[in-house]
Amino acid sequence: MKLKKLTIDPNWKSRLTAIGYGYHTDNDEPYWIEDYYYEITNSEADSIYQATAEVWDMCLKAVEHVMANKLYHLFHIPSHMVHHIEQSWENESPSIYGRFDFAYDSVKRKLKLLEFNADTPTSLFECGIVQWNWKNHYFSESTDQFNSVHEQLIASWKEIKPYLKGDVLYFSCAKETLEDLTNVEYLRDTAIQAGIQTQLIYIDDIGWNGHAFIDLEGESITSIFKLYPWEWMVHEEFGHHIVNDIHRTQWIEPSWKMILSNKAILPILWELFPHHPNLLAAYFEPQRTLKNYIKKPILSREGANIDLYYDKELIYATPGDYGQEGYIYQELATLHKEESGFSIIGSWIIGQEPCGISFRESTMPITTDKSRFVPHIIKH
């Protein structure tokens, strides 16, 4: 895995804007990296594929373990949601995607799971469309990329289509979030290409008529993709209606993903699969034997409220408003480091298939919402 530079296209911003990518920079700070990239080998791509498939399989076993042993208290999941979660699992409610974040130790050539963004992962549009467009702009058609995101999304929607309730699949996110709206509209476009009738509705505009969810025209919502976290929904008045909904609306992602999108799954995985080569040691309590570690809130987003300890001394910390539900303690991973910063690998699973990767880069060893997106190619 090597970082390479290229001569930048002076019109790169207008090129990206033309394909619908409106947040490539943030106050003149680049979010999208155009002039350098990662070159990985076929062997490295295969390793990421295998690690993603194996960790996904372990995650599904971990969900069964949590349900069988009623461990919901460790996840701070409200009791009124437990039946809904178990029903969504038993009914195999439709699920479309998730993104594993891996650390890559380039010396030992080891991939280690940092966490699983199982409910509301973003950067899908960057991975599936923008970096593919970037590759085709700078490299020959024969140059490869670990990226079948677009094709896999369409194929997965086609598989899901017969099991959707109602004639319309709604797509939703909060208002005034360009990144979320771009990701939702991308997902919606792939659903349309799979032959599904769709409609966009903002979370803020979803109504409740006393027994079911409705759209702005008063039509019932029976299937909906939402780019909005379950842990937020269940604590809102809106969320309390979910368990009273007579239509038992299909929410994508389904509510059982609340287990996998919670950092409490990391100690559970370590308990079930101790010393697995793709896992980091993780615990619910501080350990005397753990000298270099990360303290993470069990519910947090975008790298907020992370404390990094080296030899038990705090050396990095990120601000935020999370941590009320408690923390987990995870062995410190070795991140890939270049002159430009520290990188992690985001590996997508869509349907049941590992199908694309992205690199996120930070100037410090904690990935946040300010971290940069770095494209890649596969060297043959």
Q: Please compute, for residue 259, the number of CA atoms within 13 A of its CA located in the half-sphere on the CB side.
A: 25
> What is the pLDDT at residue 300?
83
Q: Please compute, for residue 266, the number of CA atoms within 13 A of its CA located in the half-sphere on the CB side.
A: 31
Token pair for 109: 């050539």
Least Cα distance to 267 among 330, 324, 325, 323 occurs for 330
> What is the pLDDT at residue 304?
86
Low-confidence ranges of the chain (pLDDT < 70): none
Q: At what angle do helices 42-68 and 82-90 cross, to 10 degrees?
A: 120
Looking only at the bridges linking them, the beta strands covering 25-26 and 29-30 are antiparallel
Query: Rounded to an integer, what is the distance from CA 98 to the centroid of its chain?
Result: 5
CA distances 121 to 180, 229, 346, Å, are 10, 10, 10
pLDDT, tens digit, 9 for 90 and up, residues 91-117: 999 999 999 999 999 889 999 999 999
Query: Rounded to an integer, what is the distance from CA 377 to the centroid of its chain?
Result: 21
Residues forming beta bridges with residue 234, ordered by sequence position? none
Phi, psi of 173 (to 5 degrees): -155, 175
**Residue 125 and residue 367 in contact, taking contact as beta carbons nearer than 8 Å:** no
> What is the pLDDT at residue 380?
74
* Ramachandran area for residue 202 (φ above 0: left; ψ -120 to 50: alpha; else beta): beta
Dihedral angle, C-alpha 123, 177, 166, 93, nearest 10 °: 40
Query: Rounded to an integer, what is the distance from CA 111 to the centroid of its chain?
Result: 17
Phi, psi of 40 (to 5 degrees): -115, 160
**Residue 349 and residue 10 in contact, taking contact as beta carbons nearer than 8 Å:** no
What's the angle, vertex CA 352, arms to CA 347 and CA 354, rounded to 5?
A: 25
Phi, psi of 52 (to 5 degrees): -65, -45
- Report the C-alpha gap between 209 and 198 in whole angstroms: 21
Hey, how many other C-beta atoms are within 10 angstroms of the C-beta on 72? 20
> What is the pLDDT at residue 366?
87
